[in-house]
Amino acid sequence: MPTSTTLALPSYAYYDALVAKARITISLEQDQAERIRQHAERAGMDVSAYLVHAATRQMAESDAIEEQFAEVDALIARAERAADGLPAEPAPEPSAELTEQERREVEEALGLVHGRDRQGRRPGHAA
């Protein structure tokens, strides 16, 4: 009695056959396209599947971040609405001149912000 072998299609093949597709065209630099092709190949995916996977991951990450901060965003929005009804604050009085110590502290802080350590050197650079 002859036997036949049936190959089971992966579940995504059924999905692909039954779900309508939309085509999106993108334009990118040649070197970007080549890098995407290489990464897709290393991942064992075609370019479309790779890009869909990458976009889906990014969207899930963005959604999770938005969900995580939704309460904070709502709180800020409520505070801004409440603040709209408040009278404007008067301008602060001009402050007195900085002391020499305060001036040094400000210069030191600005140096750190701009990438210099306490000895005036930029980290990672030779003296």
- Residue 116 has a pLDDT of 63
* pLDDT tens per residue across span 70-106: 999 999 999 988 888 778 777 666 667 888 898 888 8
Sign of the dihedral through C-alpha 24, 39, 8, 12? negative
- 116 Cβ partners below 8 Å, 6+ apart? 122
Model pTM?
Answer: 0.47
Does the pLDDT of residue 35 top 50, yes or no? yes
- Residue 12 has a pLDDT of 58
% of the chain surpassing 70 pLDDT: 72
